[in-house]
Amino acid sequence: MKVKIFDESHESDLEEDINNFIQEKNPDIIDIKYSISNSIYSEEQLYCFSALIMYQDKKE
């Protein structure tokens, strides 16, 4: 089993990264863990969208 971690500041960027990974690697996905966190810096609200994909390479 392998893992791949993605971390982006916008959910559409995270979605694009995950779709590109799936298209390029074509892995057997075991599970996906998704998380959102936010914080405030000065008067700006910051978001962090992340995902961890557990997968198996098809060639293994």
pTM: 0.84
Q: Domain total for the chain?
A: 1
Which residue segment(s) compose the domain that 48 sits in? 2-56
d(CA 60, CA 56): 7
The 10s digit of each residue's pLDDT in 4-23 is 999 999 999 999 999 999 99
pLDDT of residue 48: 96
pLDDT of residue 60: 56
How many Cβ atoms are within 10 Å of 43's Cβ, its own excluded?
A: 5
For position 9, which CATH number holds? Answer: 3.30.1660
- Mean of per-residue pLDDT scores for the chain: 94
pLDDT of residue 40: 92
pLDDT of residue 58: 80
Contact of 56 with 3, CB cutoff 8 Å = no
